[in-house]
Structure formats: C-alpha cells, structure tokens
Amino acid sequence: MNIMVVGGGGREHAIIKKLRENKEIETIYALPGNGGIAADARCVPVSATDIAGICSFAQSHSIDYAVVAPDDPLVLGAVDELAKLGIPSFGPCKNAAIIEGSKVFSKNLMKKYAIPTAEYEVFSDMEQALAYIESCPIPTVIKADGLALGKGVIIAQTREEAKDAVRSMMQDKIFGESGSNIVIEEFLTGPEVSVLSFTDGKTVVPMVSSMDHKRALDNDEGLNTGGMGTVAPNPYYTKEIAEQCMKEIFMPTIAAMNAEGRTFKGCLYFGLMLTPKGPKVIEYNCRFGDPETQVVLPLLESDLLTVMQATTNGTLADTEIKFSDKSACCVIMASEGYPKKYEKGFAIEIPAETADSVYVAGAVLEKGVLKTSGGRVLGVTATADTLSQAIDEAYNKVKTVRFANAYYRKDIGKKAMEAK
C-alpha cells in the first residue's frame, strides 16, 4: 500500500511513526514533511495547502489512502477533492471541517443543540462589539471567527484590553479576514483537558485524554504558543467525567453534525474546561492536536491505519481500539525566543538511542545535516508505567538532544502531578 500524509510538523511525524508499525504499508509520502520526517517517510515538496498539487501527486503515485492532518487543507476541502478522484482519506469533508474553521458556526451549533459551552455573543459590527464590552463581565474572551494559526484568542483582563483586542481584530485585521466576525465569550475557569476522538459519524471512540501546556514559560506564564509539551492521560479527567462528557458533549456533537447534514469523520478534538459547573467545550478541532498526538499515539496499541480506515468506511463500531494504561510525557524543544523572534540554522544532534522518541517539527536537512528551521523544533516523548516516571524519562532524553539556542519548559507534567 502507498500512503500519503499531508502536513509537516511533529504531529505528522508521530502519525507516520505509528503508521510504520503496519508492515503492509510499502511507502509513506509526506507532503511536505520536514528534515526529520525524512528519516521515516519520503518527503515531497508540495505545500499542505496546495490542494491541486496534493491531488495530482496522489493520482500520479497510486496513493491508496491519504491522511490529511492539518486544519487548513481540511477546511479547504482536501478530503472532498481526493474523494472525487476515488482516493479515500482520513479527515472530515469541508462541510464538517467548519466545526474548527468557524468559531461562529461551532458556538451556534452548541447553542442550538444544548452542548455545554461558555456564554457568548457574535459581532460583525465593531461599534456594537465595543458597546457590548462596556457592560460585559470581565475578564472576557475575544475570538476571531476563522482559522488564525491557533492565535485568534485573546483573554482580556480589563475593558480597555478587550476594546484593543476588538479593534485589532476587526479594524487592523491582525488575523486577516478571520477577524471580520468575532465571538465575545464568558471567561471560564478550571483544568483544561484535550480529548481526541476517532469517529465515523456514528460511533465515537475517545482516545486517551491529555493535557497541553500552551504558554511559553514555566508556571504557565509568558505568551501563548503552539504547545510546549503534553502529558497523557490527564489525571483531572476521571472516569465519571469521561462518562458525563460522552453523554453531554461527544454523542450530542456527533448527532448535531449529522442533523445539520455535516457528518463528521476522522479525528474530532474536544478542547474541554472542567468548570465548577461541569465540563464545557472551549473549542473543537477537526483534526489531531499538536502536541497532544505526540503523547496519545505512542499509547495506541491497535493498528492506526486499520482504525483510520474504519472511520472512513463507517465500521468503527466493529473495530478494536486499544490504548495502553501507561502514561506519556512529551517535552517540546524550541528555539530560544519562540514564539517571538528566534535564530535558526543550528545543527541538531540526536543520539541513535533517542531517535525513536523524537518527533521533528521544525528542521531541514542540509547536505545530510539536520538543522533547526522553526520555533518549535522537536518533541521528545517517553512512556512509562507512571506519569512521574514518564516525566523523568522524557527530561532525561531531552538532555541527550543537542542544538544551539535550545529552549524547553522545565515543568511539563507538574500540574498533572498536583492533581494526584
């Protein structure tokens, strides 16, 4: 079989490494992949948003199954276009990917189907949004409607900050057209949990829960990033809460999407906050989370390709999906300065005994030397019987990976340990 994975980050590397356990797969192509992924797949210089390029590559290379991993190609309709060529894919169609592509859509969906989420108002007129801020509860949360590289959320601690956020989105268009419509919502508190799930539009199978660490600095300080580390499972997410989420959030979301004629297949990611009033949805993603995937997939014991194909074929109910009861910790090694300015082009040394545990996100191969090329450079994951061991082992492995200007948080998993 020939498989094509669209995307080129740590998430895609984790997907590819897991797929490689299936010996029936002959070739895995990564579009575009990266310098580190090149060790595990054939990287092809086609951008993840070049839908026509992706389709013509798939056709000319007899691709049997495609995995569309990032949000942009899903929202642009890559799965639909591949289907027109008879190529089955993992991921939702365009009309279902909107659950991530438009916050206005997802908030209205949750309201219509009584799925617990923060109270909110939608604005397309800046003056009305500014007037609303005069009397809304503070802190408040301002969200751009469309995709904004995961940066379209501003938590405002004062009315002035909230107004600045509205102006920057609606007038200065810091997130481009994504900010033409905005959502202003209630500020929620409580531990955050990421639950990725496999779904074929009928059955939903939650994967092991996880916890992201979005801020750049220790103790959840500093700027928001694409994620500085993850642990799984998330100890705040108890069996009782999981059952409640299945009943009040997961199944109702699948049913709501069906009722809207937008059946969702692929990985549906529930970003949850466990508030004093129960679990609420902070966001949906139409794809695997990054870096959640780097702790969740190492704990998957079943064959990933079989599970993915079952989501496409609608046979998930008949497919065994087993996760190990171990724990995992992933520490992201970034370039000093990320998410602001950083230097790149530094050689990366990964000892052979650590290579299996490394998922590369931002690196290029130059004359056979792997060099840093991005803010988040790579993730190092360890799995162990207990969370505490997984954390220790991940940090021990991190110490064996070397590149100039490397930066990583020292407290990944600390909050999770406090829950125990």
**Interacting residues toward ligand GLY by CB under 6 A:** 150, 212, 227, 285, 289-290, 292
> Does the protein bind ligand AMP through residue 141 (CB under 6 A)?
yes
> Does the protein bind ligand AMP through residue 188 (CB under 6 A)?
yes
CB of 168 to ligand AMP, least distance (A): 16
Closest to 333 in 3D by CA, of 394, 259, 268, 261: 394
Binding-site partner at residue 227 among ligand GLY, ligand AMP, none, CB < 5 to 8 Å by type: ligand GLY
Gyration radius (Cα) of the chain, Å? 21
CB of 291 to ligand AMP, least distance (A): 13
* 76, two tokens: 């642009």
> Does the protein bind ligand AMP through residue 196 (CB under 6 A)?
no
Query: What is the rounded distance in angstroms from the CA atom of residue 379 to the CA atom of residue 334?
Result: 9
> Does the protein bind ligand AMP through residue 145 (CB under 6 A)?
no
Query: What is the rounded distance in angstroms from the CA atom of residue 243 to the CA atom of residue 374?
Result: 39
Per-residue contact flags (x/-) with ligand AMP for residues 99 to 138, judged by CB under 6 A: -------------------x--------------------
Only one of the segments 30-38, 148-156, 335-343, 347-355 lies at the binding site for ligand AMP (rule: CB under 6 A); that segment is: 148-156
Evaluated on CA atoms 41, 45, 50, 52, the torsion sign reads negative
**Position among 20, 167, 214, 344 found at the interface with ligand AMP (CB under 6 A):** 214
- Give, in order, the Cα–Cα distances in Å from 1 to each of 5, 19, 85, 396: 13, 12, 17, 37
Binding-site partner at residue 34 among ligand GLY, ligand AMP, none, CB < 5 to 8 Å by type: none
Per-residue contact flags (x/-) with ligand AMP for residues 225 to 264, judged by CB under 6 A: ----------------------------------------
Residues that bind ligand AMP (CB under 6 A): 118, 141, 150, 153, 155, 185-188, 192, 214, 271, 282-283
